[in-house]
Amino acid sequence: MNVILVMIPLSLLLMIGAAIAFFWAVDHDQFDDMETPGLLALDDKPKHEAPRS
């Protein structure tokens, strides 16, 4: 049972990490537009590597 004492704090830490990552993503426009990236066709062999923002 003692392993629980390690696993539970670990799971809590992971969850906090995930929440922080998600907050970061929301604040960096990752969830503002859920449709456009899906529309962007995947180009197999990009001929031109244009600068991305």
Binding track over 12-41 against other proteins, x by CB under 8 A: x--x--xx--xx--xx-x-xxxxxx-xxxx
Helix, strand or coil, per DSSP, at residue 2 = coil
Least distance in Å: CB of 51 to other proteins?
5
In contact, 31 and 25? CB cutoff 8 Å: yes
Angle at 25 between CA 20 and CA 31, to 5 degrees: 135
Q: Which residues bind other proteins (CB under 8 A)?
A: 1, 4, 8, 11-12, 15, 18-19, 22-23, 26-27, 29, 31-36, 38-41, 43, 46-48, 50-53
